[in-house]
Amino acid sequence: MTNPAASRSAPLTSDAARALGDRAQGLLDQLARVTDEPGRVDRTYLSPAHARSIDLVGGWMRGLGLATRVDAVATLRGRREADVTPETAKTLLIGSHIDTVLDAGKLDGCLGVIAGLLVVEEIEKRGVKLPFALEILAFGDEEGVRFPTALSSSSAVTGTYRREWLEVRDRDGRSLAEALADFGCDTARIDEARIDPAGVIGWLELHIEQGPLLEHWGLPLGVVTSIAGQSRFSFTLQGVAGHAGTVPMELRRDALTGLAEIALTVERVGRQGTNGLVATVGRVDVKPGAGNTVPGRIEATLDIRAGADAPRLVAIDRIRHEAERIAARRGLGFELHRHIDVPTCPMDDDLQAAFARSVASLDLDVRRLPSGAGHDAMAMARAFPAAMLFVRSKDGISHNPREWSSPEDIGLGVEALVRTVLDLAERARGGAT
Ligand code: GLV
Ligand code: MN
Ligand code: MN
């Protein structure tokens, strides 16, 4: 098909959607086999599995004719030049992340990268000539699981990388600077990872919803309006380790019971919040961690998000204040460190409209929804028009190996992304209203 307008107007049969979804799922299954922990999906930033995933996805990119490179923060980039006046053409950025949480599903992030590859494949198959370049980005540090950083790889692309991140350490004491160097990245060249916004049309990210709304509405796709702001902290409680048989209850300074009280406070503050406020203590290390020793020290994390900034900031103040009181009453030292603070992020109106037109062209109701999860689009929006399209998640489950979307829904998502690229191409040529 050589007429791009024609290829973006007809509804897709469910067989065609399933075929496209099956193609995506086949690649996602292969990517999910690249893991640091056999039997489950673990692929954290700069791990051996991350390196192997770059080799795998980079090979697929080269197979599609993309020119690939890995930038100074280990983002894999695959570029297809414009078919028309490539010297002056702008670039449309597409993608998501290939790092995962621990014991992850197969779709979070990876879908957006694979969908970018399938856009290139479909553009070639349909014989479309694009007036802009495509660059498919596979970020490595979206989840912030290994290091306490905030969307660091996408921040490098927008020129908002913070060099103090290089000093943060993983649980084994390895600094981010050391891990990047081991990975073969030259941290002196991080500035060169920046993409000049003057040459960029925008950022498109296809992602699973990771929540229950689309399923509740009976819709496969939804256009994202904004992304919830998030703050992430680590905190410590310092008590006194002691013999579990000899230290009487009234003389204990037990860091774990202090943590228990603080975690319940976090839950209570979260429940009382507005604008979808959520607050989570997600990781707790108990030291020294022996069954016959009163816990002397706690190292834990706190994650707070909301659809607007004010409720999040109010909740942080309340939790900090109440945790300090609990710790003081129990004779515990308390320290809270903020690592990540990303404000609520609206998506670009024009790109939302482009996604909406593509969803409508598939004969689907257009629904809009906010995102509670964080995404690379939050960092990309600092420099470029950015938008996201969500694919329905089964039972709203994510960050869990049961994360699943049907092949038909995935196929519709990929087709909507393809059509959005065709739509933007048509507009760039001045041919559509
Ligand atoms: C990323 O998935 C996040 O929202 O934590
Ligand atoms: Mn994600
Ligand atoms: Mn995630």
143 lines ligand 1 (CB under 6 A): yes
Cβ–ligand 1 distance for 311 under 6 Å, the answer: no
pLDDT, residue 219, reads: 98
Q: Ligand 3 centroid vs 287 CA: distance in angstroms?
A: 28
| Cis bond before residue 385 (omega within 30° of 0) | no
| DSSP-derived secondary structure letter, 41 | B
Cα separations in angstroms, 68 against 60, 64, 75, 134:
10, 11, 10, 12
Q: Is the CB of 374 under 6 A from ligand 1?
A: yes
Tell which atom from ligand 1 comes closest to the C-alpha of 143. Answer: 1
Cα of 388 from ligand 1 centre, angstroms: 14
DSSP bridge partners of 136: 78, 94
Q: Give residue 281 CA to ligand 1 midpoint distance, Å.
A: 14
Would the CB of 373 count as within 6 Å of ligand 1? Answer: yes
Residues lining ligand 2 (ion), CB within 5 A?
Answer: 108-109
Distance in Å, CA 139 to ligand 1 centroid = 13
Q: Tens digits of per-residue pLDDT, 146-200?
A: 999 989 999 999 999 999 999 999 999 999 999 999 999 999 999 999 999 999 9
Regarding the beta carbon of 58 and ligand 1, being less than 6 Å apart is answered no
Span from the CA of 143 to the centroid of ligand 1 (angstroms)? 5
How open is the CA angle 388-82-89, to the nearest 5 degrees? 85
pTM above 0.75, yes or no: yes
Calpha distance 214→64 (Å, rounded)? 32
Distance CA 234, CA 340 (A): 10
Q: Which atom of ligand 1 is found nearest the CA of 109?
A: 2
* 285 alpha carbon – ligand 3 mean position (Å): 22
CB 387 within 8 A of CB 355: yes
Q: Residue 139 is inside which H or E element, if any? A: strand 133-139
- Distance CA(53)–CA(76), nearest Å, equals 10
Residue nearest to atom 3 of ligand 1 (CA): 374
Q: Each residue of 408-432: pLDDT tens digit? A: 999 999 999 999 999 999 999 886 5
Ligand 2 centroid–CA 431 distance in Å is: 34
Pocket flag, ligand 1, residue 385 (CB < 6 Å): no
Rounded (to 5) percent helix, strand, coil in the chain: 40, 20, 40
Residue 414 DSSP SS3: helix
Residue of 143, 209, 312 to test ligand 1 pocket, by largest number of atoms within 8 Å of CB: 143
The CA 373 to ligand 1 mean position distance, Å, reads 5
**Would the CB of 308 count as within 6 Å of ligand 1?**
no
Q: What is the pLDDT of residue 89?
A: 97
Q: What stretches of 193-291 adopt beta strand conformation (E)? A: 200-208, 221-227, 229-238, 242-243, 278-280, 284-287
* Backbone φ, ψ for residue 309 (5° rounding): -75, -40
Mark the ranges of the chain whose per-residue pLDDT is less than 70: 1-8, 431-433
What is the structure's pLDDT at 431? Answer: 62
> What is the whole-number distance in angstroms between the Cα of residue 119 and the centre of ligand 3?
22
pLDDT, position 9: 73
Structural contact between residues 205 and 95, judged by C-beta atoms closer than 8 angstroms = yes
**End-to-end Cα separation, the chain, in angstroms:** 22
Ligand number, closest to the Cα atom of 144: 1
| Ligand nearest to the Cα of 205, by number | 2
Task: Find the ligand nearest to 139 CA.
Answer: 2
What sign has the CA pseudo-torsion 284, 234, 165, 193? positive
Shortest-distance atom of ligand 1 to CA 373: 4
